[in-house]
Each structure stands twice: as structure tokens, then as C-alpha cells.
Structure 1
Amino acid sequence: MRLQRLIIGIQILLLLILLSSKGMAANCDSSPFIAPETDRNRLESGLTGKWVQSFDEKRLTIKDIDGNSWDYYAIEKKPENPQGLVLFLHGFPEFAHAWEQQLEYFGNTHHAVAIDLKGHHYSSSPDNIEEYDFIELAWETRALIRCLGYDTATIVGHDFGGALGWIMGMLHPDAVDGLVILSVPHPYLFGRALLDPNSDQAQRSRYMDYARGTTLSDQLNFSKIIFSDLSIFESGFYSGTRILRLMLENWVPTSRWKTMKHYYRAMPYPANEQDYPVKLTAFQKKIYSVKRPTLFLWGLSDPYFAPETLNGIEELVPDLELIIYPNGTHWLHHEAEDLNLRIDTFLSRILP
């Protein structure tokens, strides 16, 4: 029963409440990060374009709920007296530097940190699919917040990073100041839409069957669908040779595609009525409700997520600000010229 995963998440949350900040810090280690020599040489030579190299790079080592240790690569910028922690979580198939412009902007006032998600770029990439369960990843995100020296953070997430943000807002609201979610629907509304095989969302999500597969045919079909959408490169963020860094460091290693796609394999898919009933019980609604202020950004030209998944969002996210970009694609964090201003205004509202 996949709903049991959410119940386990609640049990984990209760366990976390019993843990002191000192105890969490003991399960964490922060150390300087040095990139592989080949990657470092390419970056310093300018062969992969001009990137901000002034960010502090760290390796954050935390322990998960089972006691396993995982390394997370992080880049950060912060002033002398930061106004709280803002944690940026990228999506598939990007890496921490996808938030380069946001770190430059918010690092002047806040402790701005972007991480490589597990299975991506320089972070740990275990082979076990269970290590990519979103409930476990949320526990690790909470541990990362503590490792950075905070009890709470504002989480800004895109795609898989946004899905992780939804879980944090549902199961770990005491570790969240607020959520900024880009280009990914609420898990319950996404599941409800998938239950109808004829829905717009079900048709858009057909690539997930290939993403979860392991045969050569699955891989070819997945690549055909994913690379038919090149809008990720149209904003100018990966202009010129900058695209080479994303490719050479995160796409070319074939093992990276395997672990990045483990997110699809770990998802509760296909959807079923038991996990996503048409009418939620009081207990289920408490689980699926987001308890923290949320800024939700959505592009109507996103080929992966249908507008129908927005129906009913207000009931599950009481403190919601929904921004619609009529021409926005899936890559709003690279396209929306007002993104930093909107996030800044949101932070001014939710932080003391």
C-alpha cells in the first residue's frame, strides 16, 4: 500500500521532533569540495563558457534515517548577517548551478545555498532505487538544513526539487519557513489526474513509463521524447558553450542517467485510487495539506504538466499565491525575468 509511505513519513516526523538540534548536528559533516581535475580545468580554461566561480563549494555529509551516510555537493553565497536560509533544489536533469542567478541575487541578503540532488552531478549516486524515495529524501533535506546551521529554511524547488518541496511542506512544516514551487503539481492532484488514462496529464506523462524502464527500447523512446523538447536551451541560460558544462559533467556519464531516472522508478506510479481517493478522509487531508506559505509558479506552455492538475489546489494549500505565466514553459527559473523579485517579495512577507 503506497499510502503507507506517507504514514511512515508522519512517524518519521514524530521521531524528528524528539531529536535535538545537537543530535542532528552530530550526524553531519561539512568540508570544502574540490571538483575533479578534468572538470576544474575545463571550467578555468573557459571551454565550457563563463560561470560564476566565486561561490563557496562544500561537501555536506549527512546520515539518513537508516544510518547511511550520503554526500551532497553544495554551492553557497551569504552576507555577514544573513536573513535566514534559502535552499534551492533543482530538477531533472540539471545540477546546483541551475540556480546561479538566484544565488548571486539572494546571497547578498540571505544564506543562499543550492545543492546537487542525490544521483545528480557531484552528490552521492547510490544504485538502490529505494534511496530515491521522496519521503526519505525529505528527511535528508531536513538534515541538510540542520547541517547548514539552521532549524528552518525557505525551500525553492523546480521539477523534482519542487516535488521534494511539496513533501517538506506536508510532512516537515516545522523545518520550513515557506515554499517556492516551480513547474510541478501537488502530488495528490497529479495522482488524481493520472488515474484517468484519457486525461491530458496522463497523455503528457507517457514518457514516465519509458523513464522507469531499463531496456534499450525504453531508453531510446525516453530520449526521443525528452530531447524533442529543447526549450531548456531557449532562455539563454545555457547560451553558447555553457551547455557543455551541463553535458560533460552531468549528462555524458552514462551512470548519471541511471541514477537520475531512479526518481521516476521510486515514485508511487502508476497511480491508484487507494493512494489518491476522490474524497480524502480527514486524516488523508492532513497528510496532503501544505502547512506553510507557498508561492507557486506555473507555465501554461509546459509540455509535461497539464493545467488540470491545478484544480483544487487552494483546498490543499491554504496560504497560496499562484502565479501563471501564459507563455512560460517548464523552465521558468531560466525564463521568468521577474522571478527574483517575486521570490524576494515573498520572503519579505514570510520572514520576520
Structure 2
Amino acid sequence: MSVTNSFPDTDASLLPDHGLESTYREVNGVQLHVVAAGDPDAPLVVLLHGHPDFWYGWRDQLGALVDAGFRVVVPDQRGCNLSEAPDGVDAYRQSELVADVVDLIHSEGRESAHVVGHDFGGFVAWNLALRRPSMVDRLAIMNVPHPTVYRDTLRSSPRQIARSWYVWFYQLPKLPEWLLRRNGMANMVDSLEITSNPGTFDEETIERYRAAWQHSGIGPRIDWYRGFRRSEPPSRTTVTQPTLVCWGEDDIALRPVMAEESVDRCEDGRLRRFPDASHWVHHEREAVTEALLGHLSSGVECREVTI
């Protein structure tokens, strides 16, 4: 299916001061809405949002990255906002989401890029680094564990199983879509507010999210989780690229111990802890952007830092 701009306020015009442009690109058989900025010949950074996010979730990092001399490309991942939403759970397996990013990088005329992911976009970023390591120059992850760590923790930790209740709920047919659509998507709004610190999402921002959710509907976003459960694990478990993991320790869905274990899966990894920050750490701490700029511009110098 093709996507039309019935809600133009969720394209690049949301951030008019950063020289952003909205484009549509055919990648891996789907049409993605992509926001891009910066010198086309500059080092490339791909930012991958999670759930229930869209490209706008990187609003606090976009300008800083462009000002630092990077070319920045931010897709609405398939099924989100202005991007195409293919039918069927299998369309949302990790292998498909990874293939989208591979083709997106190639659409910039590149063979590799720095890749940054938050939440479910972090799973895609981890998987890209593991499945297609030559495509990733440097990796940065915000509040999502290495996929092997997550799988192993779910098998061994009742506390993490309880925190991940929504993953199991999303496997049910039809009921999650109905529940999240009702009352003007109030439960979707709750998912932003409950998982963040007070004031992280103001009313204007929430209304922009509501508009983004109306474009593609709720079903494809739930299929991300169904497809994740059907995905084959990567054949390798060790990340070879220099990796930065930023972790808000007040994440209500993910145990902080997984951050440490994720860095242990990296040959060259660095963990930045942020006490009193939530799952939305990249909105709540300016130091996350500073750490990201430092990581993408230079080497990884130390093992662990607490902010």
C-alpha cells in the first residue's frame, strides 16, 4: 500500500530549524518515510526509533548531530507514522527490519553507517550489528539489551518476565489492537507517560504522537512484537564494533543488570548509567547526546561511567 500525507504535521516540518527534509524511499520492498539532514558526503548516522515512537523521537539529537558534521538519516520504521505498513506478522521479523536498514544505508550510496537505536529500534540495531557486521561502523544503544541477554534473562528471571508482561499480551489476537485504539488511544498515551519521568512528554508532543499513530494504525506496531517472537536469533552473539550503551536506571520494563551483561557481549563496549532517568533517557539527560557525539567522533576510552 502507498502512504499519503493526510497528516503533514508528522513529517520533517515538525522541526523546521534543522534543515530537515522528508523523502520516501523504496527499501526491501516497502516504502519508508525518511527524514534526513546534513552534508550528503559527511559520515552517516542512522537513528532507529522504538515503540510507540516515530522519527520525531530523535528530536533532541538531530540538530546536535548535524551541527557536529554528520549526515543523519531517520526512518519511520515499517508500520509507523508515514511509512508503509505491510500485512502479516512475518513482515515484522527482525530479518526484515534489518534488511530495511541495509537498503536504507545503500540508498545513501554507502556501504556502512553509524547506527543508533532506542527501545525496539535498539533490537534492530543490535541485530544489524550481529547479522550484517560490515554495515555498522559504530553502534549506540539506548535502553534495550543485547538480544541474547534479553532472551537468557527471560528464561531465568521471574522479575524480568513480570516486567515484560506486555510482550506476552501483544501475542494475543485482536485484543491488544482493540484495547490500544479505544478512548482516543488513551492507553498509547499512558505507555508514554508511565514509562517516562514527569514532564518528558508535554501535551503538544503527545498530540503529535497521536497524529503519527493514526497514520498507520496500531496493528503493525503490535506485529513488531509478534514478529520478534517469531524471529530466528542471530548466528553470532559477540558485537565487534565499538559500542556505547546508555541506560536510564529507572526503566520500569527492563532490569538494569541487563545493561552490564549487554556490554559484556561487546568486544569494545562502554556503559553509561543514568540514575533517576527513565526508559526515555535520551530525552531526559543532555549528557546522552554528549556521550553519543563523543562516541561517534572518537574511540571508546573507558568501560563504565555513572552520571
Are 1:137 and 2:107 an aligned pair? no
Question: More deviation in 103-112 or 342-351?
Answer: 342-351
1:209 corresponds to:
168
- Call closer, same or farther: CA 1:308–1:150 in 2, change over 3 Å: same
- Whether the 8 Å CA contact 1:103–1:112 is kept in 2: the answer is yes
Deviation, structure 1 residue 233:
6.3
Alpha-carbon distance between aligned partners in 2 of 1:104 and 1:212, rounded to the nearest angstrom? 37
- Superposed, 1:87-106 pairs within 5 Å as 87-106=46-65
Are 1:171 and 2:136 an aligned pair? no
CA offsets, 1:220-250, max 9 Å, x none?
3998698266156656564242321110222
Alpha-carbon distance between aligned partners in 2 of 1:310 and 1:302, rounded to the nearest angstrom? 11
1:73 corresponds to:
33
Structure with bigger gyration radius: 1
1:27 corresponds to:
none
Residue 112 of structure 1 aligns to which amino acid in structure 2? V
- Whether the 8 Å CA contact 1:235–1:334 is kept in 2: the answer is no
CA offsets, 1:150-192, max 9 Å, x none?
1111111001110001011111111111111001111111111
Alpha-carbon distance between aligned partners in 1 of 2:197 and 2:273, rounded to the nearest angstrom? 19
1:23 corresponds to:
none
- Whether the 8 Å CA contact 2:80–2:212 is kept in 1: the answer is no
1:333 corresponds to:
282
Alpha-carbon distance between aligned partners in 2 of 1:162 and 1:243, rounded to the nearest angstrom? 22
- Whether the 8 Å CA contact 2:252–2:279 is kept in 1: the answer is yes
- Superposed, 1:38-57 pairs within 5 Å as 38-40=6-8, 51-53=14-16, 54-57=19-22
2:305 corresponds to:
none
- Superposed, 1:108-123 pairs within 5 Å as 108=67, 109-123=69-83
Match of residue 317, structure 1, among 266, 269, 273: 266
Superposition TM-score, scaled by structure 1 size = 0.74
Match of residue 225, structure 2, among 248, 264, 274: 264
Match of residue 210, structure 2, among 247, 250, 253: 247
Alpha-carbon distance between aligned partners in 1 of 2:41 and 2:294, rounded to the nearest angstrom? 19
Deviation, structure 1 residue 215:
4.0
- Call closer, same or farther: CA 1:193–1:241 in 2, change over 3 Å: same
Superposition TM-score, scaled by structure 2 size = 0.85
Alpha-carbon distance between aligned partners in 2 of 1:160 and 1:92, rounded to the nearest angstrom? 6
- Call closer, same or farther: CA 1:81–1:61 in 2, change over 3 Å: closer
Residue 248 of structure 1 aligns to which amino acid in structure 2? A
- Whether the 8 Å CA contact 1:231–1:331 is kept in 2: the answer is no
1:155 corresponds to:
115
2:193 corresponds to:
230
| Long gaps (5+) in structure 1 | 1-32, 45-49, 277-283
- Whether the 8 Å CA contact 1:90–1:157 is kept in 2: the answer is yes
- Call closer, same or farther: CA 1:184–1:217 in 2, change over 3 Å: closer
Aligned residues: 291
1:85 corresponds to:
44
Alpha-carbon distance between aligned partners in 1 of 2:10 and 2:166, rounded to the nearest angstrom? 33
CA offsets, 1:234-278, max 9 Å, x none?
56564242321110222x45x521001111101237x9xxx89xx
Alpha-carbon distance between aligned partners in 1 of 2:10 and 2:260, rounded to the nearest angstrom? 44
- Whether the 8 Å CA contact 1:231–1:329 is kept in 2: the answer is no
Alpha-carbon distance between aligned partners in 1 of 2:197 and 2:224, rounded to the nearest angstrom? 25
2:66 corresponds to:
107
| Long gaps (5+) in structure 2 | 301-307
- Whether the 8 Å CA contact 1:233–1:239 is kept in 2: the answer is no
- Whether the 8 Å CA contact 2:112–2:135 is kept in 1: the answer is yes
Alpha-carbon distance between aligned partners in 2 of 1:217 and 1:137, rounded to the nearest angstrom? 22
- Call closer, same or farther: CA 1:326–1:76 in 2, change over 3 Å: same
- Call closer, same or farther: CA 1:119–1:80 in 2, change over 3 Å: closer
Question: More deviation in 291-300 or 227-236?
Answer: 227-236
CA offsets, 1:300-319, max 9 Å, x none?
11011112323533442111
